[in-house]
Chain A
Amino acid sequence: MSDTTPTKSTASARELTRNGLWNNNAALVQLLGLCPLLAVTGSVVNALGLGIATMVVLVGSNTAVSLIRHYVPDSVRLPAFVMIIASFTTCAELLMQAFTYELYQVLGIFIPLIVTNCTILGRADAFARKNPVLPAMLDGFMMSLGFLAVLIVLGGLRELIGQGTLFTNMDLIFGPVAESWEITLFPNYPDFLFAVLPPGAFVGLGLLIAVKNRVDSGIEKRKAAKAEKPVAGSKRVRVTGSIS
Protein backbone atom coordinates (compact mmCIF):
# COMPACT_ATOMS: atom_id res chain seq x y z
CA MET A 1 0.00 0.00 0.00
CA SER A 2 1.37 3.34 -0.93
CA ASP A 3 1.47 6.01 1.69
CA THR A 4 -0.49 8.84 0.24
CA THR A 5 0.33 12.16 1.77
CA PRO A 6 -2.82 13.81 3.06
CA THR A 7 -4.09 16.33 0.58
CA LYS A 8 -4.36 19.81 1.95
CA SER A 9 -7.80 21.27 2.06
CA THR A 10 -8.00 24.49 3.93
CA ALA A 11 -11.36 26.02 4.58
CA SER A 12 -12.12 29.42 6.01
CA ALA A 13 -13.51 29.71 9.52
CA ARG A 14 -16.72 31.10 8.10
CA GLU A 15 -17.16 28.12 5.84
CA LEU A 16 -16.42 25.67 8.65
CA THR A 17 -19.00 27.34 10.86
CA ARG A 18 -21.63 27.27 8.16
CA ASN A 19 -20.97 23.66 7.22
CA GLY A 20 -20.97 22.45 10.79
CA LEU A 21 -24.10 24.23 11.86
CA TRP A 22 -26.24 24.04 8.75
CA ASN A 23 -25.04 22.99 5.29
CA ASN A 24 -23.37 19.76 6.37
CA ASN A 25 -25.06 19.28 9.72
CA ALA A 26 -24.05 15.94 11.23
CA ALA A 27 -27.58 14.96 12.20
CA LEU A 28 -29.76 16.57 9.56
CA VAL A 29 -27.63 16.19 6.42
CA GLN A 30 -25.03 13.49 7.02
CA LEU A 31 -27.50 11.49 9.15
CA LEU A 32 -24.61 10.30 11.29
CA GLY A 33 -24.74 9.47 14.98
CA LEU A 34 -28.37 8.46 14.73
CA CYS A 35 -28.10 5.92 17.55
CA PRO A 36 -27.45 8.44 20.33
CA LEU A 37 -29.60 10.99 18.54
CA LEU A 38 -32.63 8.74 18.63
CA ALA A 39 -31.94 6.98 21.89
CA VAL A 40 -31.26 9.73 24.38
CA THR A 41 -33.34 12.67 23.17
CA GLY A 42 -36.26 11.90 25.45
CA SER A 43 -35.74 15.16 27.31
CA VAL A 44 -33.71 18.35 27.04
CA VAL A 45 -31.39 17.46 29.89
CA ASN A 46 -30.44 14.08 28.40
CA ALA A 47 -29.87 15.67 24.99
CA LEU A 48 -27.74 18.44 26.47
CA GLY A 49 -25.69 16.03 28.56
CA LEU A 50 -24.88 13.70 25.69
CA GLY A 51 -24.37 16.62 23.30
CA ILE A 52 -21.76 18.23 25.53
CA ALA A 53 -19.99 14.90 26.08
CA THR A 54 -19.90 14.37 22.31
CA MET A 55 -18.54 17.88 21.88
CA VAL A 56 -15.67 17.24 24.30
CA VAL A 57 -14.77 14.04 22.49
CA LEU A 58 -15.08 15.46 18.99
CA VAL A 59 -13.01 18.59 19.64
CA GLY A 60 -10.39 16.54 21.48
CA SER A 61 -10.15 13.82 18.85
CA ASN A 62 -10.04 16.26 15.95
CA THR A 63 -7.20 18.14 17.64
CA ALA A 64 -5.24 15.01 18.43
CA VAL A 65 -5.73 13.50 14.98
CA SER A 66 -4.62 16.72 13.36
CA LEU A 67 -1.49 16.83 15.54
CA ILE A 68 -0.37 13.33 14.58
CA ARG A 69 -1.45 13.56 10.95
CA HIS A 70 2.13 13.45 9.58
CA TYR A 71 3.21 10.45 11.64
CA VAL A 72 0.40 7.93 11.17
CA PRO A 73 0.69 5.76 8.05
CA ASP A 74 -2.43 5.60 5.96
CA SER A 75 -2.86 1.86 6.31
CA VAL A 76 -3.21 1.94 10.09
CA ARG A 77 -4.91 5.28 10.46
CA LEU A 78 -8.36 3.99 11.39
CA PRO A 79 -7.22 1.89 14.39
CA ALA A 80 -5.16 4.85 15.54
CA PHE A 81 -8.13 7.21 15.27
CA VAL A 82 -10.40 4.79 17.11
CA MET A 83 -7.82 4.53 19.92
CA ILE A 84 -7.74 8.31 20.22
CA ILE A 85 -11.52 8.60 20.19
CA ALA A 86 -11.86 5.84 22.76
CA SER A 87 -9.39 7.60 25.06
CA PHE A 88 -11.30 10.86 24.88
CA THR A 89 -14.60 9.05 25.43
CA THR A 90 -13.18 7.42 28.54
CA CYS A 91 -12.11 10.87 29.76
CA ALA A 92 -15.59 12.27 29.12
CA GLU A 93 -17.17 9.31 30.89
CA LEU A 94 -14.93 9.69 33.95
CA LEU A 95 -15.57 13.44 34.04
CA MET A 96 -19.33 12.88 33.96
CA GLN A 97 -19.05 10.24 36.62
CA ALA A 98 -17.16 12.70 38.79
CA PHE A 99 -19.22 15.84 38.31
CA THR A 100 -22.71 14.84 37.13
CA TYR A 101 -23.20 11.42 38.62
CA GLU A 102 -27.01 11.27 38.33
CA LEU A 103 -26.89 12.24 34.67
CA TYR A 104 -24.14 9.69 34.15
CA GLN A 105 -26.48 7.05 35.49
CA VAL A 106 -29.40 8.26 33.37
CA LEU A 107 -27.42 8.20 30.14
CA GLY A 108 -25.84 4.88 31.01
CA ILE A 109 -24.46 2.88 28.10
CA PHE A 110 -24.81 5.77 25.67
CA ILE A 111 -21.77 7.58 27.06
CA PRO A 112 -19.29 4.77 26.24
CA LEU A 113 -21.15 4.38 22.95
CA ILE A 114 -19.94 7.84 21.89
CA VAL A 115 -16.96 5.88 20.53
CA THR A 116 -19.20 4.44 17.87
CA ASN A 117 -20.68 7.78 16.85
CA CYS A 118 -19.86 7.90 13.15
CA THR A 119 -19.67 11.68 13.16
CA ILE A 120 -16.50 11.58 15.22
CA LEU A 121 -14.60 9.03 13.15
CA GLY A 122 -15.99 10.68 10.03
CA ARG A 123 -14.62 14.09 10.93
CA ALA A 124 -11.27 12.60 11.95
CA ASP A 125 -10.89 10.82 8.64
CA ALA A 126 -12.49 13.40 6.35
CA PHE A 127 -11.18 16.59 7.85
CA ALA A 128 -8.80 16.47 10.79
CA ARG A 129 -6.13 14.26 9.16
CA LYS A 130 -5.84 16.67 6.24
CA ASN A 131 -5.85 19.97 8.11
CA PRO A 132 -3.79 21.95 10.61
CA VAL A 133 -4.74 22.02 14.26
CA LEU A 134 -6.76 25.23 14.44
CA PRO A 135 -9.14 24.49 11.57
CA ALA A 136 -9.51 20.93 12.84
CA MET A 137 -10.46 22.19 16.28
CA LEU A 138 -12.93 24.66 14.84
CA ASP A 139 -14.43 22.00 12.60
CA GLY A 140 -14.86 19.66 15.55
CA PHE A 141 -16.44 22.39 17.62
CA MET A 142 -18.86 23.51 14.93
CA MET A 143 -19.83 20.00 13.90
CA SER A 144 -20.58 19.04 17.47
CA LEU A 145 -22.41 22.33 18.04
CA GLY A 146 -24.66 21.55 15.08
CA PHE A 147 -25.19 18.04 16.44
CA LEU A 148 -25.91 19.43 19.90
CA ALA A 149 -28.44 21.90 18.51
CA VAL A 150 -30.39 19.14 16.79
CA LEU A 151 -30.22 16.99 19.92
CA ILE A 152 -31.64 19.79 22.04
CA VAL A 153 -34.43 20.69 19.59
CA LEU A 154 -35.42 17.04 19.26
CA GLY A 155 -35.17 16.53 23.03
CA GLY A 156 -37.34 19.57 23.65
CA LEU A 157 -39.88 18.46 21.08
CA ARG A 158 -40.13 14.96 22.51
CA GLU A 159 -40.24 16.14 26.12
CA LEU A 160 -42.96 18.63 25.28
CA ILE A 161 -45.14 16.19 23.34
CA GLY A 162 -44.36 13.22 25.56
CA GLN A 163 -44.77 14.77 29.01
CA GLY A 164 -46.00 18.33 28.46
CA THR A 165 -42.95 19.81 30.20
CA LEU A 166 -39.66 21.43 29.27
CA PHE A 167 -36.31 21.53 31.08
CA THR A 168 -37.17 18.87 33.68
CA ASN A 169 -34.29 17.74 35.91
CA MET A 170 -31.91 20.38 34.57
CA ASP A 171 -30.33 20.36 38.03
CA LEU A 172 -28.57 17.16 36.97
CA ILE A 173 -26.24 19.37 34.94
CA PHE A 174 -26.48 22.84 36.41
CA GLY A 175 -26.86 22.04 40.08
CA PRO A 176 -29.60 23.07 42.53
CA VAL A 177 -30.01 26.49 40.83
CA ALA A 178 -31.73 24.78 37.94
CA GLU A 179 -34.37 23.01 40.00
CA SER A 180 -36.88 25.78 39.31
CA TRP A 181 -36.28 25.79 35.55
CA GLU A 182 -38.89 23.18 34.84
CA ILE A 183 -41.76 24.58 32.78
CA THR A 184 -45.06 22.71 32.76
CA LEU A 185 -46.83 23.82 29.63
CA PHE A 186 -49.88 21.64 29.96
CA PRO A 187 -51.00 20.75 33.46
CA ASN A 188 -52.72 17.34 33.78
CA TYR A 189 -51.11 16.23 30.54
CA PRO A 190 -51.68 12.53 29.84
CA ASP A 191 -48.25 11.18 28.96
CA PHE A 192 -48.08 10.60 25.22
CA LEU A 193 -45.72 7.66 25.26
CA PHE A 194 -45.16 7.51 21.51
CA ALA A 195 -43.05 10.66 21.62
CA VAL A 196 -40.90 9.26 24.42
CA LEU A 197 -40.37 5.91 22.68
CA PRO A 198 -37.82 5.52 19.84
CA PRO A 199 -40.41 5.66 17.00
CA GLY A 200 -41.31 9.16 18.15
CA ALA A 201 -37.66 10.13 17.72
CA PHE A 202 -37.67 8.85 14.14
CA VAL A 203 -40.79 10.85 13.31
CA GLY A 204 -39.39 13.92 15.07
CA LEU A 205 -36.07 13.70 13.21
CA GLY A 206 -37.94 13.24 9.93
CA LEU A 207 -39.93 16.39 10.59
CA LEU A 208 -36.78 18.35 11.46
CA ILE A 209 -35.12 17.21 8.21
CA ALA A 210 -38.26 18.21 6.32
CA VAL A 211 -38.18 21.66 7.88
CA LYS A 212 -34.50 22.07 7.00
CA ASN A 213 -35.08 21.03 3.39
CA ARG A 214 -38.03 23.40 3.18
CA VAL A 215 -35.92 26.31 4.43
CA ASP A 216 -33.14 25.39 1.99
CA SER A 217 -35.48 25.24 -0.98
CA GLY A 218 -36.93 28.60 0.06
CA ILE A 219 -33.42 30.09 0.06
CA GLU A 220 -32.73 28.55 -3.36
CA LYS A 221 -35.92 30.02 -4.74
CA ARG A 222 -35.12 33.48 -3.46
CA LYS A 223 -31.64 33.21 -4.96
CA ALA A 224 -33.07 32.13 -8.30
CA ALA A 225 -35.53 35.02 -8.24
CA LYS A 226 -32.71 37.44 -7.50
CA ALA A 227 -30.51 36.14 -10.31
CA GLU A 228 -30.40 38.21 -13.46
CA LYS A 229 -33.06 37.39 -15.93
CA PRO A 230 -32.30 37.52 -19.64
CA VAL A 231 -33.61 40.63 -21.33
CA ALA A 232 -36.90 39.97 -23.01
CA GLY A 233 -36.44 39.37 -26.68
CA SER A 234 -32.80 38.36 -26.46
CA LYS A 235 -31.81 35.45 -28.63
CA ARG A 236 -31.37 32.01 -27.16
CA VAL A 237 -27.88 30.66 -27.59
CA ARG A 238 -28.04 27.41 -29.40
CA VAL A 239 -25.97 24.69 -27.79
CA THR A 240 -25.10 21.46 -29.50
CA GLY A 241 -22.89 18.90 -27.91
CA SER A 242 -20.89 19.55 -24.82
CA ILE A 243 -17.81 21.65 -24.32
CA SER A 244 -15.06 19.82 -22.54
Chain B
Amino acid sequence: MTGLNLTSPHVTGRTSVRWVMGWVLLALVPGWIVLIVSFSLGYAINMVLALLTALIAEALLLAWRGRPVMFFLKDLSALVTAALLALALPPLAPWWLTVLGTMIAIVFAKQLFGGLGNNPFNPAMVAYALLLVSLPLYMTTRWASPDFSLPIADTLAIIFAGQTPVDGATGATPLDVYKLDISRLTSAEVLQSPIFGSWVAEGWDVANLAFLAGGGLLLWKRIITWHIPVSFLAGLGIMALLFSGDADVRTPIDLHLFAGATMLGAFFIATDPVSAATSNRGKLVYGAGIGVLIYLIRTWGNYPDAVAFAVLLMNFAAPLIDHYTRPRVYGHDKSVKGFKND
Protein backbone atom coordinates (compact mmCIF):
# COMPACT_ATOMS: atom_id res chain seq x y z
CA MET B 1 0.00 0.00 0.00
CA THR B 2 2.52 2.56 1.08
CA GLY B 3 5.55 0.74 -0.25
CA LEU B 4 6.78 0.04 3.27
CA ASN B 5 7.92 -3.46 3.98
CA LEU B 6 5.42 -4.24 6.71
CA THR B 7 5.61 -7.48 8.60
CA SER B 8 2.66 -9.58 9.61
CA PRO B 9 0.00 -9.48 10.90
CA HIS B 10 -1.63 -7.37 8.24
CA VAL B 11 -5.10 -6.00 8.44
CA THR B 12 -6.66 -6.06 5.05
CA GLY B 13 -9.82 -4.38 3.88
CA ARG B 14 -11.12 -0.92 4.42
CA THR B 15 -13.14 -1.19 7.59
CA SER B 16 -13.52 2.42 8.61
CA VAL B 17 -15.86 3.42 11.41
CA ARG B 18 -18.09 5.06 8.82
CA TRP B 19 -18.30 1.83 6.80
CA VAL B 20 -19.16 -0.23 9.89
CA MET B 21 -21.74 2.22 11.19
CA GLY B 22 -23.31 2.57 7.75
CA TRP B 23 -23.81 -1.19 7.53
CA VAL B 24 -25.23 -1.34 11.04
CA LEU B 25 -27.76 1.35 10.14
CA LEU B 26 -28.65 -0.52 6.98
CA ALA B 27 -29.07 -3.78 8.87
CA LEU B 28 -31.51 -2.08 11.25
CA VAL B 29 -33.82 -1.01 8.43
CA PRO B 30 -35.82 -4.27 7.96
CA GLY B 31 -36.70 -4.50 11.64
CA TRP B 32 -37.55 -0.82 11.71
CA ILE B 33 -39.94 -1.17 8.77
CA VAL B 34 -41.62 -4.18 10.36
CA LEU B 35 -42.13 -2.20 13.57
CA ILE B 36 -43.68 0.71 11.65
CA VAL B 37 -45.98 -1.55 9.64
CA SER B 38 -47.11 -3.76 12.49
CA PHE B 39 -47.35 -1.19 15.24
CA SER B 40 -47.28 2.48 14.61
CA LEU B 41 -45.95 5.30 12.53
CA GLY B 42 -44.54 6.49 15.84
CA TYR B 43 -41.39 4.45 15.21
CA ALA B 44 -40.70 6.52 12.07
CA ILE B 45 -41.29 9.80 13.91
CA ASN B 46 -39.13 8.63 16.83
CA MET B 47 -36.35 7.76 14.40
CA VAL B 48 -36.39 11.18 12.71
CA LEU B 49 -36.47 12.98 16.05
CA ALA B 50 -33.65 10.88 17.48
CA LEU B 51 -31.39 11.18 14.44
CA LEU B 52 -31.82 14.96 14.25
CA THR B 53 -31.26 15.41 17.98
CA ALA B 54 -28.20 13.18 17.90
CA LEU B 55 -26.60 15.14 15.06
CA ILE B 56 -27.24 18.49 16.71
CA ALA B 57 -26.13 17.34 20.18
CA GLU B 58 -23.02 15.63 18.82
CA ALA B 59 -22.05 18.69 16.74
CA LEU B 60 -22.55 21.09 19.65
CA LEU B 61 -20.59 18.95 22.10
CA LEU B 62 -17.76 18.34 19.63
CA ALA B 63 -17.49 22.05 18.90
CA TRP B 64 -17.53 22.82 22.62
CA ARG B 65 -14.83 20.26 23.30
CA GLY B 66 -12.71 21.70 20.48
CA ARG B 67 -12.83 18.55 18.36
CA PRO B 68 -13.17 18.44 14.57
CA VAL B 69 -16.95 18.46 14.13
CA MET B 70 -17.41 17.19 10.59
CA PHE B 71 -14.78 14.47 10.98
CA PHE B 72 -16.66 12.86 13.85
CA LEU B 73 -20.15 13.53 12.48
CA LYS B 74 -19.25 11.71 9.29
CA ASP B 75 -18.41 8.48 11.14
CA LEU B 76 -22.17 7.98 11.72
CA SER B 77 -21.66 6.58 15.23
CA ALA B 78 -24.04 9.14 16.75
CA LEU B 79 -26.69 8.07 14.28
CA VAL B 80 -26.35 4.42 15.28
CA THR B 81 -26.82 5.33 18.94
CA ALA B 82 -29.87 7.41 18.05
CA ALA B 83 -31.33 4.67 15.84
CA LEU B 84 -30.95 2.01 18.56
CA LEU B 85 -32.64 4.27 21.09
CA ALA B 86 -35.46 5.15 18.69
CA LEU B 87 -36.13 1.44 18.11
CA ALA B 88 -36.11 0.74 21.83
CA LEU B 89 -38.43 3.54 22.97
CA PRO B 90 -42.21 3.11 22.98
CA PRO B 91 -43.60 4.50 19.70
CA LEU B 92 -46.37 6.61 21.19
CA ALA B 93 -44.28 8.39 23.79
CA PRO B 94 -44.30 12.20 23.68
CA TRP B 95 -41.69 13.82 21.43
CA TRP B 96 -39.69 15.30 24.28
CA LEU B 97 -39.04 11.84 25.68
CA THR B 98 -37.18 10.82 22.53
CA VAL B 99 -35.32 14.12 22.32
CA LEU B 100 -34.37 14.01 26.00
CA GLY B 101 -33.22 10.40 25.74
CA THR B 102 -31.06 11.07 22.71
CA MET B 103 -29.49 14.08 24.39
CA ILE B 104 -28.69 12.01 27.48
CA ALA B 105 -27.14 9.31 25.30
CA ILE B 106 -24.96 11.65 23.26
CA VAL B 107 -24.09 14.30 25.84
CA PHE B 108 -23.78 12.35 29.08
CA ALA B 109 -23.10 8.76 28.08
CA LYS B 110 -20.87 9.44 25.08
CA GLN B 111 -19.26 12.87 24.82
CA LEU B 112 -18.69 13.56 28.51
CA PHE B 113 -16.77 10.28 28.70
CA GLY B 114 -14.56 11.36 25.81
CA GLY B 115 -16.52 10.63 22.66
CA LEU B 116 -16.40 7.69 20.30
CA GLY B 117 -14.41 4.76 21.67
CA ASN B 118 -14.21 6.04 25.23
CA ASN B 119 -17.66 5.35 26.62
CA PRO B 120 -17.64 2.50 29.15
CA PHE B 121 -21.41 2.04 28.76
CA ASN B 122 -23.59 1.63 25.74
CA PRO B 123 -24.98 5.19 25.31
CA ALA B 124 -28.36 4.14 23.95
CA MET B 125 -28.89 1.77 26.87
CA VAL B 126 -27.81 4.38 29.44
CA ALA B 127 -30.46 6.71 28.05
CA TYR B 128 -33.08 3.95 27.94
CA ALA B 129 -32.42 2.85 31.51
CA LEU B 130 -32.42 6.42 32.76
CA LEU B 131 -35.75 7.16 31.08
CA LEU B 132 -37.24 3.90 32.34
CA VAL B 133 -36.23 4.70 35.91
CA SER B 134 -37.25 8.35 35.70
CA LEU B 135 -40.48 8.27 33.71
CA PRO B 136 -41.92 4.77 34.17
CA LEU B 137 -45.44 5.88 33.25
CA TYR B 138 -44.53 6.89 29.70
CA MET B 139 -42.04 4.10 29.23
CA THR B 140 -44.38 1.22 30.09
CA THR B 141 -47.82 2.27 28.87
CA ARG B 142 -47.16 3.92 25.53
CA TRP B 143 -46.58 0.80 23.43
CA ALA B 144 -48.82 0.70 20.38
CA SER B 145 -51.29 -2.16 20.14
CA PRO B 146 -50.69 -4.26 17.03
CA ASP B 147 -54.37 -4.72 16.11
CA PHE B 148 -55.38 -1.08 16.48
CA SER B 149 -54.98 1.18 13.47
CA LEU B 150 -54.48 4.65 14.80
CA PRO B 151 -55.02 7.46 12.23
CA ILE B 152 -51.89 9.44 11.38
CA ALA B 153 -53.40 12.65 12.72
CA ASP B 154 -54.01 11.01 16.08
CA THR B 155 -50.47 9.58 16.16
CA LEU B 156 -49.07 13.05 15.56
CA ALA B 157 -51.37 14.55 18.18
CA ILE B 158 -50.27 11.98 20.76
CA ILE B 159 -46.58 12.52 20.06
CA PHE B 160 -46.43 16.26 19.54
CA ALA B 161 -49.51 17.78 21.19
CA GLY B 162 -49.54 15.73 24.37
CA GLN B 163 -52.89 14.12 23.62
CA THR B 164 -53.68 11.06 25.74
CA PRO B 165 -54.09 7.97 23.54
CA VAL B 166 -57.61 6.56 23.29
CA ASP B 167 -58.38 3.26 25.02
CA GLY B 168 -57.00 0.27 23.16
CA ALA B 169 -54.50 2.22 21.10
CA THR B 170 -51.73 1.63 23.60
CA GLY B 171 -50.90 -0.97 26.18
CA ALA B 172 -48.14 -2.93 27.79
CA THR B 173 -45.77 -5.22 25.91
CA PRO B 174 -46.51 -8.97 25.53
CA LEU B 175 -43.75 -9.86 28.00
CA ASP B 176 -45.29 -7.50 30.55
CA VAL B 177 -48.82 -8.83 30.00
CA TYR B 178 -47.75 -12.48 30.20
CA LYS B 179 -45.79 -11.94 33.38
CA LEU B 180 -48.68 -10.13 35.06
CA ASP B 181 -51.49 -12.43 33.94
CA ILE B 182 -49.80 -15.78 34.42
CA SER B 183 -50.12 -15.38 38.18
CA ARG B 184 -53.88 -15.86 37.96
CA LEU B 185 -54.53 -17.53 34.57
CA THR B 186 -53.28 -20.54 32.67
CA SER B 187 -50.98 -20.16 29.72
CA ALA B 188 -53.73 -20.95 27.21
CA GLU B 189 -55.96 -18.29 28.73
CA VAL B 190 -53.24 -15.65 28.73
CA LEU B 191 -52.45 -16.37 25.09
CA GLN B 192 -56.09 -15.61 24.18
CA SER B 193 -55.22 -11.93 24.33
CA PRO B 194 -54.97 -10.44 20.82
CA ILE B 195 -51.52 -9.02 21.49
CA PHE B 196 -50.11 -12.54 21.22
CA GLY B 197 -51.61 -13.00 17.75
CA SER B 198 -51.30 -16.18 15.75
CA TRP B 199 -47.66 -17.03 16.41
CA VAL B 200 -45.61 -15.80 19.38
CA ALA B 201 -46.53 -12.18 19.81
CA GLU B 202 -48.24 -10.21 17.08
CA GLY B 203 -45.76 -7.89 15.39
CA TRP B 204 -42.92 -8.56 17.83
CA ASP B 205 -42.20 -12.01 16.37
CA VAL B 206 -41.79 -10.69 12.83
CA ALA B 207 -39.75 -7.73 14.05
CA ASN B 208 -37.45 -10.11 15.93
CA LEU B 209 -37.02 -12.21 12.79
CA ALA B 210 -36.21 -9.04 10.85
CA PHE B 211 -33.59 -8.04 13.41
CA LEU B 212 -32.26 -11.59 13.27
CA ALA B 213 -31.92 -11.20 9.50
CA GLY B 214 -30.19 -7.84 9.98
CA GLY B 215 -27.85 -9.52 12.43
CA GLY B 216 -27.15 -12.15 9.80
CA LEU B 217 -26.15 -9.40 7.41
CA LEU B 218 -23.69 -8.02 9.99
CA LEU B 219 -22.25 -11.51 10.53
CA TRP B 220 -21.93 -12.02 6.78
CA LYS B 221 -20.12 -8.69 6.38
CA ARG B 222 -17.91 -9.72 9.32
CA ILE B 223 -18.80 -6.57 11.22
CA ILE B 224 -19.63 -8.63 14.28
CA THR B 225 -18.45 -12.10 15.22
CA TRP B 226 -20.81 -14.88 16.24
CA HIS B 227 -19.58 -15.05 19.82
CA ILE B 228 -21.74 -12.44 21.53
CA PRO B 229 -25.08 -13.13 19.79
CA VAL B 230 -24.76 -16.90 20.11
CA SER B 231 -23.71 -16.91 23.77
CA PHE B 232 -26.34 -14.24 24.50
CA LEU B 233 -29.16 -16.33 23.00
CA ALA B 234 -27.74 -19.52 24.51
CA GLY B 235 -27.59 -17.95 27.96
CA LEU B 236 -31.16 -16.75 27.75
CA GLY B 237 -32.38 -19.97 26.10
CA ILE B 238 -30.75 -22.31 28.60
CA MET B 239 -32.08 -20.32 31.54
CA ALA B 240 -35.56 -20.44 29.99
CA LEU B 241 -35.30 -24.19 29.40
CA LEU B 242 -34.17 -24.75 32.98
CA PHE B 243 -36.70 -22.57 34.77
CA SER B 244 -39.55 -21.94 32.34
CA GLY B 245 -40.48 -25.54 31.61
CA ASP B 246 -44.00 -24.99 32.85
CA ALA B 247 -45.61 -22.24 30.74
CA ASP B 248 -48.37 -21.92 33.32
CA VAL B 249 -45.88 -20.64 35.85
CA ARG B 250 -43.34 -18.56 33.97
CA THR B 251 -42.91 -16.94 30.57
CA PRO B 252 -41.96 -19.69 28.07
CA ILE B 253 -38.85 -19.71 25.89
CA ASP B 254 -40.50 -18.64 22.62
CA LEU B 255 -41.73 -15.44 24.23
CA HIS B 256 -38.31 -14.82 25.73
CA LEU B 257 -36.63 -15.14 22.36
CA PHE B 258 -39.18 -13.54 20.05
CA ALA B 259 -41.42 -11.21 22.04
CA GLY B 260 -39.14 -8.56 23.40
CA ALA B 261 -36.01 -6.72 22.41
CA THR B 262 -34.02 -9.96 22.41
CA MET B 263 -32.79 -10.07 18.80
CA LEU B 264 -32.17 -6.33 18.67
CA GLY B 265 -30.18 -6.72 21.87
CA ALA B 266 -28.25 -9.81 20.81
CA PHE B 267 -27.09 -8.58 17.41
CA PHE B 268 -27.04 -4.79 17.66
CA ILE B 269 -26.83 -3.63 21.27
CA ALA B 270 -24.65 -6.19 23.03
CA THR B 271 -22.19 -6.25 20.12
CA ASP B 272 -21.22 -2.58 20.53
CA PRO B 273 -17.44 -2.93 20.11
CA VAL B 274 -16.64 -0.10 22.52
CA SER B 275 -18.44 -1.28 25.63
CA ALA B 276 -18.31 -5.07 25.09
CA ALA B 277 -15.53 -7.48 26.00
CA THR B 278 -12.78 -7.77 23.38
CA SER B 279 -11.29 -11.24 23.08
CA ASN B 280 -13.31 -14.10 21.63
CA ARG B 281 -13.46 -16.01 24.91
CA GLY B 282 -14.30 -12.77 26.68
CA LYS B 283 -17.14 -12.17 24.26
CA LEU B 284 -18.58 -15.60 25.05
CA VAL B 285 -18.60 -14.85 28.78
CA TYR B 286 -19.95 -11.35 28.19
CA GLY B 287 -22.79 -12.50 25.92
CA ALA B 288 -23.77 -15.39 28.16
CA GLY B 289 -23.79 -13.06 31.14
CA ILE B 290 -26.22 -10.73 29.40
CA GLY B 291 -28.49 -13.61 28.41
CA VAL B 292 -28.61 -15.01 31.93
CA LEU B 293 -29.18 -11.57 33.46
CA ILE B 294 -32.03 -10.85 31.05
CA TYR B 295 -33.78 -14.01 32.19
CA LEU B 296 -33.16 -13.20 35.86
CA ILE B 297 -34.45 -9.64 35.59
CA ARG B 298 -37.42 -10.55 33.40
CA THR B 299 -38.47 -13.36 35.71
CA TRP B 300 -37.65 -12.16 39.21
CA GLY B 301 -37.14 -8.45 38.66
CA ASN B 302 -39.58 -5.56 38.51
CA TYR B 303 -39.09 -4.67 34.87
CA PRO B 304 -40.77 -6.53 32.02
CA ASP B 305 -37.94 -6.29 29.55
CA ALA B 306 -34.38 -6.29 30.75
CA VAL B 307 -32.01 -5.90 27.83
CA ALA B 308 -30.90 -2.42 28.87
CA PHE B 309 -30.12 -3.31 32.47
CA ALA B 310 -28.44 -6.58 31.55
CA VAL B 311 -26.24 -4.89 28.95
CA LEU B 312 -25.28 -2.10 31.36
CA LEU B 313 -24.43 -4.57 34.13
CA MET B 314 -22.20 -6.55 31.80
CA ASN B 315 -20.63 -3.30 30.53
CA PHE B 316 -19.48 -2.85 34.12
CA ALA B 317 -17.98 -6.32 34.05
CA ALA B 318 -16.36 -6.07 30.60
CA PRO B 319 -12.94 -4.78 31.81
CA LEU B 320 -12.75 -7.59 34.38
CA ILE B 321 -13.73 -10.18 31.78
CA ASP B 322 -11.07 -8.82 29.45
CA HIS B 323 -8.53 -9.06 32.21
CA TYR B 324 -9.13 -12.76 32.78
CA THR B 325 -9.58 -13.83 29.17
CA ARG B 326 -6.46 -12.51 27.53
CA PRO B 327 -5.67 -14.54 24.43
CA ARG B 328 -2.31 -16.22 23.92
CA VAL B 329 0.10 -13.80 22.33
CA TYR B 330 1.63 -15.12 19.11
CA GLY B 331 5.03 -16.60 19.88
CA HIS B 332 4.36 -17.15 23.57
CA ASP B 333 3.50 -20.48 25.18
CA LYS B 334 0.73 -19.50 27.49
CA SER B 335 -1.63 -16.62 27.82
CA VAL B 336 -1.15 -14.30 30.75
CA LYS B 337 -4.11 -14.52 33.05
CA GLY B 338 -5.13 -12.50 36.04
CA PHE B 339 -2.75 -10.25 37.87
CA LYS B 340 0.31 -12.51 37.79
CA ASN B 341 2.45 -10.74 35.29
CA ASP B 342 1.49 -7.13 35.96
Tell me the complex Cα distance, A197–B132, Å. 13
A194 to B134, CA, bound (A): 5
Given A192-B134, A194-B130, A194-B134, 7 new contacts (CB under 8 A): A190-B135, A192-B135, A193-B134, A193-B136, A195-B134, A197-B133, A203-B108
A-side contacts of B135, CB under 8 Å: 190, 192-193
Is B11 engaged at the interface, CB distance under 8 Å to the other chain?
no
B137 within 8 A of partner (CB) = yes
Interface size on A (CB < 8 Å)? 7
**Pair B133/A193 contact, Cβ less than 8 Å:** yes
A208 to chain B, nearest CB (A): 14
Contact B108 A190 (CB under 8 A): no
Instruction: Please indicate the chain B residues that have their CB under 8 angstroms from the CB of A193 in the complex.
Output: 133-136
Q: How far, in angstroms, from A201 to B164 measured CA to CA in the complex?
A: 32
Counting CB contacts under 8 A, is B138 at the interface? yes
Tally of contact residues, B, Cβ under 8 A: 8
Bits for A174-192, please: 1 = Cβ < 8 Å to B, else 0.
0000000000000000101
- Name the B residues within 8 Å of A195 (CB-CB): 134
Are B138 and A190 in contact, CB atoms less than 8 angstroms apart? Answer: yes
Smallest Cβ-Cβ distance to A161: which chain B residue: B134
Complex Cα spacing A190 to B108, Å: 21
Separation in Å of the A203 CB from the closest CB of chain B? Answer: 7
Complex Cα–Cα for A197 and B137 (A): 17
Q: Hey, which chain B residues are within 8 Å of A203, CB to CB?
A: 108
Q: Which residues of B contact A194 (CB under 8 A)?
A: 130, 133-134
Closest 8 pairs between A and B when the two form their complex, measured CB to CB: A194-B134, A193-B134, A192-B134, A194-B130, A194-B133, A190-B135, A193-B133, A192-B135
B289 to chain A minimum Cβ distance, whole angstroms, is 22
Interface centre among A194, A195, A197, A203 (most CB of B within 10 A): A194
Write 15 A-B pairs (CB below 8 A) sorted by A numbering. Answer: A190-B135, A190-B137, A190-B138, A192-B134, A192-B135, A193-B133, A193-B134, A193-B135, A193-B136, A194-B130, A194-B133, A194-B134, A195-B134, A197-B133, A203-B108
Report the minimal beta-carbon distance from B138 to chain A, rounded to whole angstroms. 7
Output the least CB separation between B159 and chain A (Å). 15
Residues of A close to B138: CB separation below 8 A = 190
| Chain A minimum-CB-distance residue to B131 | A194
CB distance from B213 to the nearest CB of A (A): 35
Complex Cα gap A210–B252 (Å): 48
Q: How far is the CB of A209 from chain B (nearest CB, A)?
A: 12
